[in-house]
Amino acid sequence: MKEESFQETYIDDRFRQLVEGLPQILYELNEDGLVSYANDFALSRFGLTRNDLENGIHFKEVLHPDSHKKAYATIQSAQPHGTMGTELLARSKDGSIFPIKISMQAIVKDGKTMGVRGVAVDLTETRDAETALRKSESYYRALFENTGTAMFIVGKDNIIYSCNSKAEELVGYSASEIMGKKCWHDFVAPEETERLKRIRAQRFSGGPTLNDYTFTFLTRDKTRKMIRAIIQLIPETDATVCSLIDITEQHRTTQALRESQERYEQVVRGTNDGVWDWDLRTDIVYYSPRYKEILGYEDHELPNVVETWKDRMHPDDIEATMAGNMECVEGKIDNFEVEFRMLHRDGTYRWILGRGASVKDESGKVYRLAGTHTDITDRKQTEQALKTSEKRLRTIFSTANDGVYRCTPDGRFITANPSMAAILGYDSPDELIKNVSDTETQLYVDPADRKPFLAVLEKEGRVTQYEKLLKRRDGTKIWISENVTATYHDDGTLKHYDGFMQDITTRKISERTTQAMYDISKAISTTSHLQELYETIHAILGKVIDATNFFIAMLDKDIDRLSFSYFADEMDDYYDIDNFSDPEKTSLVIHVMRTGKSLLLSTARPEDEQKWKELSILGTPPAVWLGTPLKIRDQVIGAVAVQHYSNPHHYSETDVAFMEAAAEQIAFAIERKTNEEKLTQLNEQLESTVEKRTAELREKAEELEAANLRLTELDKIKSALVSSVSHELRTPLTSIRGFAKLAGRDFTRFFRPLETTEHLEKKGKRIKQNLSIIETEGERLTRLINDFLDINRMESGKANWHDQFCNPCEIIQQAVNTAKGAFASRPDVTLVADMPATISPIHADPDKIQQVLTNLLNNASKFTEQGEIRVSVTDSRHALTISVTDTGIGIPKDEQNSIFEKFQKSSQGDTISTANKGTGLGLAICKEIVEHYGGTIWVESTPGKGSIFSFTLPAVAGLEIPCE
């Protein structure tokens, strides 16, 4: 009977039928408050069975005691046209409490109230399912309420029944002044009244009308305002709710308010979902306006036929959706929930959460499906975006080159990506997480570094570009840089931190290598000697690698010795290696130098075992040894090495690269410094030598000066001596010669006649001869003295030169005339003078020039027995060349130069015994005179044929005078 009443009442009521199909709680109470009907959904939600209903369930049993009163009042006030929703606390049979919202209407039959029926919405589910939506709804609701839209409820007669406080504020009247008294049009600007009346009339005549329009509003004080009015007909009444929004000022708020209004309406209507109801028997489908709206259609646009819905479904989703539907149709399930995409009118797909439930007839056959569509596009898009971003993040995490990790403050890894594991030398993130339980001691090269790092992180919340040195699993060191962000506990202490780690070893080493190389090159000039350079190099290397045990060995090729010029060692002392080139000698450093290649030997590497055995170890065996040759222009000059006694991983290939780069610079620096030192030594030697030599030179110079002084003095003495001796000689000579001549004459005159005997005649002849020898030798001695004085005067610059313009022809002629006398007694020799018609004059002492000519003519005559002696002259207008040619005995080639020297005579001697004996000074005087005038004198001669003596004299250019 209960079913019947339900069926009866709803059968013709299409809308109610559709509600029955909703996955919502449908119920009916009889006048006693007993539940006379509940759909399956309601029963299952409350944990009831049909049996329970049969046995009679009072509505109080399904409600929380707190809601009993409210529920009762709602039932009491239920009207046939229905009531607005009331929120109650429901109680299911198992005692769980959940919020519901019920709406109900009185069941009236034959004018008598039979009970109530209605729908209850399970708010729990709604809330759970649509938290996001509800959040936004509550936001809009709050906005609606708090914005305080002015609202009026206006009757068909235009009288205002009610208003809110905002409305009072807007018009400037109190509610009591307004309500029941004021007419709607009292607040409309006069020019707008007609238009508004028309709109209102249309509303009540059922024609198309405006529910949302703007108009000019008048307040009590006649202020005009631009108002947006939103009019809503209160269902089943003639009254309207007018919401007035002052858009003159708050256009933005208006917009928001309208939206909130719309949403509020929807909430009031109980659901934001589109509703569909499919009658399987007729295949007629009802789509609620909201359903159509979700897909962008106007109410009249979607035909109520079932065929078309598949057209709007995304092809990929049809199968799954159909399956749900069909299972429901076939009665396998009662309700379903499925997500799918539907084509919006604008061509895009909307994500829909579809819920559906079947309605069965008495025989249990499903004859209807009804359900809701919730537009979940936004959520889906967000989900999709989240999924994509999560996927992206995960990809980044697992494939990033950077190490990505999360670590606890006490130094355990929570997560790590493969790169992180690889950076730290572990095969996988799991291995890293498992093995590292204390980063401070296991990863930090210097465990003291971690505390300050954590302190900064805890204080700042993040640490960026933090660089530090870590140990890898195998003990090798790496430089890393990390960016770290902290996460805190509620109490503000550090919970964990997330880091991005990069291996910057290469950069760091290259930075440090560059710096070290620069420092080493600088050390050349900043250190004052080689030993200090070694110390500086040691300090520089120590900044990049552990150089606690370090040496520099240098080879002295000359003595074949390797000297450990510098070393620092915890264990051993070093001794130089003699006979370096001896092939029998082996050691690590010798090997490095012989091969010219770096050597890294670690006791941890099996492949090094052979080398360790082959090469003898000097001193304490290290755990790891790294040596590098020092080379200059490909010549190994030494080696550097570092070693560690306990950690076999202390040095790696990276360190080899560093040492090699540094070695180049070290070799260069050492060579420079050595050269510098050598240069300084050489310089010092040179300086002392120069000093010594300078002193010697100074001594010599002084000696020379003294000698010179002595010479000058001697010269002076000589000149004085010569002239005085000459004069002293000349005077007695003149007397000797005079007296000899006189004695000769007297002898001839007085003693010759007395030579009466042959004996006396012989003796007389002898005396006469001897006197003549005294005379000629005296004359020769006089000439010698004269010549000697002459040359002495010239050489000492004391000669007198009476220079004047003179005619050379006259001088030549004079000389020839003087010589002619001597030729009178010699018929075999002719003297010829070739004189030109004109000649250039000369500026000279004519006596001196004549002296030259006389001398040459005398010599010619002296050395010519027969033939011709010829004087000739050529004039080049700049100079005269005067020659005396003879046909005499000539002069051998090797003597042609020496005869011009003082006291030099040809080896042939005088050929004419009768001639005066020479002094050997004649040609020397000629040379002196000719050269005094800038001329030259020379001889061309062929022994046995004759000689040509020539000399030049500068002529007075541009003048020509007759020769005679």
Site of interaction with ligand ADP (CB under 6 A): 855, 859-860, 863, 886, 888-889, 891, 899, 905-906, 918-923, 947
Query: What is the nearest approach in angstroms of ligand ADP to the Cβ of residue 916?
Result: 8
Q: Name the residue nearer to ligand ADP (CB basis): 530 or 923.
A: 923
- Look at residue 336 and give its three-state secondary structure: strand
How far apart CA 744 and CA 736 sit, in angstroms, is 12
Q: Name the residue nearer to ligand ADP (CB basis): 592 or 924.
A: 924
Q: Name the residue nearer to ligand ADP (CB basis): 642 or 891.
A: 891
Contacts (Cβ under 8 Å, ≥6 apart) of 413: 405, 406, 407, 432, 433, 436, 439
- φ and ψ at 186, to 5 degrees? -65, -25
Q: Name the residue nearer to ligand ADP (CB basis): 545 or 873.
A: 873
How far apart CA 752 and CA 515 sit, in angstroms, is 125
Query: What is the nearest approach in angstroms of ligand ADP to the Cβ of residue 815?
Result: 15
* Cross-strand bridge partners of residue 502: 481
How far apart CA 616 and CA 591 sit, in angstroms, is 10
Query: What is the nearest approach in angstroms of ligand ADP to the Cβ of residue 774?
Result: 20
Asked if 557 and 590 count as a contact pair (C-beta separation under 8 A), the reply is no
Asked if 33 and 58 count as a contact pair (C-beta separation under 8 A), the reply is yes
Q: Name the residue nearer to ligand ADP (CB basis): 464 or 908.
A: 908
**Of all residues in this chain, which one has the CB nearest to ligand ADP in the complex?**
918
Strand 112-122 versus strand 25-30 pairing type? antiparallel
Contacts (Cβ under 8 Å, ≥6 apart) of 162: 152, 153, 175, 179
Q: Name the residue nearer to ligand ADP (CB basis): 417 or 855.
A: 855
Strands (E), 219-267: 224-233, 240-246
Query: What is the nearest approach in angstroms of ligand ADP to the Cβ of residue 908?
Result: 6
Q: Name the residue nearer to ligand ADP (CB basis): 880 or 923.
A: 923
How far apart CA 119 and CA 22 sit, in angstroms, is 9
Q: Name the residue nearer to ligand ADP (CB basis): 237 or 897.
A: 897
- Look at residue 640 and give its three-state secondary structure: strand
- φ and ψ at 398, to 5 degrees? -85, -25
Query: What is the nearest approach in angstroms of ligand ADP to the Cβ of residue 910?
Result: 7
**What is the DSSP code string of 886-915?**
--S----GGGTTGGGSTT---TT--S-TTS
Residue with tokens 């000389």: 815
Residue with tokens 């708010």: 123
Query: What is the nearest approach in angstroms of ligand ADP to the Cβ of residue 752?
Result: 34
- φ and ψ at 351, to 5 degrees? -85, 130
Q: Name the residue nearer to ligand ADP (CB basis): 103 or 906.
A: 906
Contacts (Cβ under 8 Å, ≥6 apart) of 214: 226, 227, 228, 229, 247
- φ and ψ at 775, to 5 degrees? -65, -50
Query: What is the nearest approach in angstroms of ligand ADP to the Cβ of residue 832?
Result: 15
Query: What is the nearest approach in angstroms of ligand ADP to the Cβ of residue 946?
Result: 8
Q: Name the residue nearer to ligand ADP (CB basis): 377 or 947.
A: 947
Q: Name the residue nearer to ligand ADP (CB basis): 74 or 887.
A: 887
Asked if 364 and 332 count as a contact pair (C-beta separation under 8 A), the reply is no
How far apart CA 398 and CA 736 sit, in angstroms, is 141
DSSP state of 343: E
Nearest 5°: the CA angle 805, 808, 809 is: 135
Query: What is the nearest approach in angstroms of ligand ADP to the Cβ of residue 889?
Result: 5
Give me 96's structure tokens.
């769980």
Q: Name the residue nearer to ligand ADP (CB basis): 745 or 820.
A: 820
Query: What is the nearest approach in angstroms of ligand ADP to the Cβ of residue 808?
Result: 21
Query: What is the nearest approach in angstroms of ligand ADP to the Cβ of residue 922?
Result: 3
Q: Name the residue nearer to ligand ADP (CB basis): 543 or 945.
A: 945
69 burial via Cβ count (<10 Å: 0-12, 13-18, 19+): exposed
Nearest 5°: the CA angle 19, 22, 27 is: 65
Query: What is the nearest approach in angstroms of ligand ADP to the Cβ of residue 795?
Result: 15
Exposure on the CB side of residue 508, measured as CA atoms within 13 A: 20
Q: Name the residue nearer to ligand ADP (CB basis): 149 or 885.
A: 885
Query: What is the nearest approach in angstroms of ligand ADP to the Cβ of residue 782?
Result: 13
Give me 178's structure tokens.
């307004």
Query: What is the nearest approach in angstroms of ligand ADP to the Cβ of residue 929?
Result: 13
Query: What is the nearest approach in angstroms of ligand ADP to the Cβ of residue 785?
Result: 13
Q: Name the residue nearer to ligand ADP (CB basis): 500 or 949.
A: 949
Asked if 60 and 75 count as a contact pair (C-beta separation under 8 A), the reply is no
User: Within 10 Å of residue 280's Cβ, how many Cβ atoms?
Assistant: 15
